[in-house]
Amino acid sequence: MRSLLAQTLFLLLIGLGMSGLSAAPPAEDSKGKDINGVCAACHGEFGQGGKRGEYPRVAGQRAAYLKDQLKSFRARKRINIPMYPYTQERELPDEDIEAVSDYLAAIELPTKWPEFKDSDDALTRLEAMEKVMIVPRAEGDIENGKAIYQKGCASCHARDGRGRGKFPMLIGQYTLYLKKQTDSYLKGERPHDEEGVTGILNTLKEKDIQDILAYLTSIQNSEKQ
């Protein structure tokens, strides 16, 4: 009886504290959002990345992959000097990695320009425009890129390029960034998959990789499968 009363009082207090009737965001979500405050300086407020790919897009990326990478930065297995101060044990404990990764993974960035209603104010318009993520088309032979991608990459990164499980999404990512990663895989600076430096990327010509990158920019608008 007493606990029911306490509960009612609690709900009432929450109700008073809220401006509208909308539900409060789950605690984990606002924690992720708070942590993202420091990430936003480089990766953008919505995780859209910046400087044409010097800072990769992290929004909408697979949560399991984001967690893996943050742990790998923290353990210095994947070298990322700009991010060292943000991934040290005290700065980014496991529960923060969980929260910020889930928060980022849930952000959807549209690939089409929004249509506005007359009633939308300037701020709403600006925010919606900033979220739009359209990677410029990369040069290359799209047909050749498609053939190689579907044969050699789709088994892990999915046919539509959205990734699955801990395999990252590759579409909607800056070409400059992806190229930097394939280069560092080829040099053995970053391990690609369990096959290490004898993996699929090492069997390809430089032009084939460029063609895959071109193909990926051509399917960024694909519907979710």
- Which residues of this protein are in contact with ligand HEC, per CB under 6 A? 35, 38-39, 41-43, 55-56, 58, 61, 66, 68-70, 80, 82-83, 86, 92, 100, 152-153, 155-157, 167-168, 170, 173, 178, 180-182, 190, 192-193, 200-201, 212
Q: How far is the CB of 110 from ligand HEC (least distance, A)?
A: 19
CB 158 within 8 A of CB 165: no
Quote the CA–CA distance of 38 and 47 in Å, as a whole number. Answer: 11
- Nearer CB in complex with ligand HEC: 59/131: 59
Q: How far is the CB of 2 from ligand HEC (least distance, A)?
A: 42
CA separation (Å) from 145 to 47, 124, 152, 217? 27, 38, 10, 11
Residue among 46, 24, 18 at smallest CA distance from 33: 46
- C-beta pairs of 197-205 under 8 Å, 24+ apart in sequence: 200/152, 200/153, 203/152, 204/148, 204/152
- Nearer CB in complex with ligand HEC: 82/136: 82
Q: How far is the CB of 155 from ligand HEC (least distance, A)?
A: 5
- Nearer CB in complex with ligand HEC: 202/221: 202
Q: How far is the CB of 78 from ligand HEC (least distance, A)?
A: 6
Q: How far is the CB of 224 from ligand HEC (least distance, A)?
A: 19
DSSP 112: S
- Nearer CB in complex with ligand HEC: 142/212: 212
SS3 of residue 164 by DSSP:
strand
DSSP 192: -
